[in-house]
Amino acid sequence: MNETSMVVKVGIADLNIVKAPDTIRTSGLGSCVGVVIYDSSKKIAGLSHVLLPDSKAAKQVKVNEHKYADTAISCLIRLLLENGARKYALKAKIAGGAQMFQFTSGSDIMRIGQRNAEAVKQKLHELQVPIIATDIGGNVGRTIEFDPVTCTLSIRKINKETFLI
Amino acid sequence: MEFNNLSSAQKDVLREIGNIGAGNAATSLSMLLNKRIEMKVPSVSIVNYDELMELIGGPEETIVGLMFRIRGEAPGTVYLLLKVEEAEYLVRKLTGDPEFSLLNNEQNNEMAISALHEIGNIVTGSYLTALSDFTNINMQPSIPYLGIDMAGAILTVGLVELSQVTDFAIIIDTEINRNNESNEGIKGNFFLLPDPDSLTKIFTALGINYDE
């Protein structure tokens, strides 16, 4: 990595893309899912911080497409293709989808992490993007950073060593 | 319903709610610790999700969060947020173990967690009682949910209800402070996040027209 490389930060319910040597990062994923989609030979990667599973459940007049698994992943892929990635070469790595609190009532809203992860996997399957690695579930927060050169996703949890998938 | 355009009268009412609730909470905390507790004038802000995380030091900051769902006529979520050191201070004070450390001390965690739950119950209970009396709206706290993790991970739980309706959250933030004389003590934030429909109910109960 040379000294001019930057870390692009992605906020909640947002997405962005980077080209090498820059890296892309999102912080404090809980029930949210971080979806990285990349083209390894073009050294380009996109990251989406998904907050909710399904845009069809939205009660908003104007839907924020970057917030939902089903719409955000399509947006991200479109953006990657516009910037030189090739559809057939796309691969994905995903992390997050934790359940931060053990709720006693089993309502849907409380299983949001699991539902987010399922929605992300289903959408990637539908769009035929293979999932290469995952770190999903549990009850811990995650900060993730992807490097399009090595195509590794580094994952940090509190009180744990950072590891790569 | 979008929150972007609250009138100043409406913000005043929400600030007053924060004031009354946290005033009561600070009093019970003060009794619990036998120490003087001060609080700041509450602020009402309408923020997007990223700004919400910045209010407590960014999404990656490790915090101790006690979350309660509010049940009743005006549902919502209330958080008592403490820095790790503050929570450790509280546990040390209540369990009498001066060596206690939250992140390393595995064997004592059960006791600590139970102490933190109890603090949450007492403090948030008095917060909601005050709110409930003032608005004459029935509000019941759920059991406490404790998380020691990144702020982003803990706070997004409270956003799930809201986020289906809007990209903004209305935060009634009250900071409680220890007395400045000593280094030990307690400093924390109360975040009250009313569910979208609850706001209308609160305004109506207090005689303020939502659409004014």
Residue B152 C-alpha, separation from nearest chain A C-alpha, in angstroms: 4
- How does the average pLDDT of chain B come out, rounded? 79
Nearest chain B residue to A55 by CA distance is B164
CA–CA distance, B87 with B64 (Å, rounded to integer): 7
- Coil, strand or helix at B144: coil
Q: Which residue has the higher pLDDT, A124 or B46?
A: A124
Contacts of A14 in chain B (CB under 8 A): 50
Partner A contacted by B197 (CB < 8 A): no
pTM more than 0.90: no
Which has the minimum average pLDDT: A74-83, B31-40, B69-78? Answer: B31-40
Q: What is the mean pLDDT of residues B151-163?
A: 85
Percentage of residues in chain B with pLDDT exceeding 90?
Answer: 2
- Whole-Å CA distances, A31 to A10, A81, A140, A152, B176: 16, 28, 9, 22, 28
Active site annotation includes A32: yes
Residues 83 through 122 of chain A touching chain B, CB cutoff 8 Å: 98, 100-104, 109, 112
Give per-residue pLDDT as tens, B92-111.
877 777 777 777 655 557 77
- B171's CB contacts (< 8 A; 6+ apart) are B43, B44, B45, B46, B47, B52, B55, B191, B192, B193
DSSP notation for A89-123 = G-EEEEEE----S--SS--GGGGHHHHHHHHHHHH
Asked if the model's pLDDT at residue B173 lies above 80, the reply is: no
Q: What pLDDT does A92 receive?
A: 94
Taking contacts as CB-CB distances below 8 angstroms, the residues of chain B near A159 are 103
In B37-56, the residues whose Cβ lies within 8 Å of chain A are 49-50, 53
Distance between CA atoms of A52 and A65, rounded to whole angstroms? 11
Judge whether A71 is closer than 8 Å to chain B, CB to CB: no
Q: Are B138 and B205 in contact (CB under 8 A)?
A: no
**Residue contact B59–A52, C-beta within 8 A:** no
Q: Do the Cβ atoms of B186 and B33 come closer than 8 Å?
A: yes
**Sorting pLDDT into bands at 50, 70 and 90, what band is A2?**
low
- Chain B residues near residue A31 by CB distance under 8 angstroms: 153, 156-157, 160
B36 to chain A nearest CA, in Å? Answer: 32
Question: For chain A, which domains are there?
Answer: 7-164 (3.30.1330.200)
- Residue-level pLDDT at A94: 95
Chain B residues inside the 8 Å CB shell of A11: 49-50
> What's the rounded Cα separation, in Å, for the pair A138 and B126?
33
Is B80 an interface residue toward A (CB < 8 Å)?
no
Per-residue confidence band for A33, with pLDDT thresholds at 50, 70 and 90? very high
User: Cα–Cα distance between A68 and B167 in angstroms, integer?
Assistant: 12
Choose the weakest-confidence range: A14-18, A31-35, B169-173: B169-173
Residue B189 has pLDDT above 60, yes or no: yes
- What is the model's pLDDT at position A93? 94
CA-nearest of A124, A118, A54 to A87 is: A124
Q: Indicate which residue of A10, A32, A35, A120 is catalytic.
A: A32
Chain A residue nearest residue B102, CA to CA: A159
Q: Which residues of A touch B195 (CB under 8 A)?
A: none
What's the rounded mean pLDDT across residues A32-56?
92
pLDDT digits (tens, 9 = 90+) for B9-45: 777 877 887 788 878 887 887 787 777 777 776 777 7
**% residues pLDDT > 90 (chain A):** 64
Residue B212 pLDDT exceeds 50: no
Question: What does the pLDDT read at residue A144?
Answer: 94
Q: How do residues A80-104 score in pLDDT, each as one tens digit?
A: 999 999 999 999 999 999 988 876 6
Q: Which of A10, A15, A64, A100 is the best residue to mutate to test the B interface, defined by the most B CB atoms within 10 Å of its own CB?
A: A100
Smallest Cα distance from A33 to chain B, Å: 11
Q: Mean per-residue pLDDT for B183-197? A: 74
Tell me which of B17 and A67 has the higher pLDDT: A67
